[in-house]
Amino acid sequence: MPELPEAEKARRRLEELCVGLRIAEVEDADTWVCRPHRPGEIDAALRGSIVTAAGRHGKFLWLETDSGHELGLHLGMGGSIRPTPEPSPRGWDRIAIVFEDESRVALHDKRRLSRARLGAGIDHLGPDALTVTPAAFRRAIGRGSAPIKARLLDQSALAGVGNLLADEALWEAGIDPRRPARDLADDELNVLRDCLRSAIRAALKPSGGSGRGRFAKARRGGECPRCKGELGRATVGGRTTYWCVNEQAGGRP
């Protein structure tokens, strides 16, 4: 599933392809992806507007326009932003914007799990995982009896972290994903934030992405890439989770 780095790369793509252009038409006939809007409703709101900015918070994207309307987008499990002169022959362009210069940009999604709606739709989200301050991170993450891995995955606490980024950051920080969040000391939470931001920045590189870090690439082999020890495996926060049984015992290795 796309995580914050994939969403940020999509935002940059939207910025490159859309900002400064006037909307001639929005193809919004997919009633599932565009729910609760009726066909033509998004088009009516955005037609004639100029796109002024592309925003992102966590995994959520949006386009701002000079009319004041926003087009909120979410990539779902496998959506992508594509410049496509013609509609996908298989109907996989779930919503598309045609501009006055005749360029066309689509949210392409084979699985139909993406979303498009008027408004950014981010009121339910916690602070963004890339820009969160140390104090805000400690307040958001360091409380409650839930495992720290589950707390990281809670988008209402911290926006943008998915399963792969969470495992990578916890491994780098040397923290057991099963520990109750409230048991972590402030210095541990500070280290975890630093490791998370480092993992995100690495994933934002052209060759990077969620799941391409040292731990994510090695975890399926069952061996810690740092100490060569055994990896534990369990379901934490509803997601399959891996950790080093030697090093992730509460502190940094």
The residues annotated as belonging to the active site are 2-3, 59, 239
- Angle, CA 238 vertex, CA 237 and CA 240 arms, to 5°: 95
For 4, the 3-state DSSP assignment is: helix
- H helix count then E strand count, the chain: 7, 10
How far is the CA of 49 from the CAs of 55, 72, 119, in angstroms?
16, 15, 15
DSSP 142: S
Residue 54, both tokens: 């592309």
Phi, psi (deg, nearest 5) at residue 130: -80, -35
| Phi/psi of residue 177, nearest 5 degrees | -65, -15
Pairing mode, if any, of strands 70-74 and 239-244? unpaired
> H/E element holding 172?
helix 163-173
- The rounded distance, in Å, linking the Cα atoms of 170 and 108 is 32
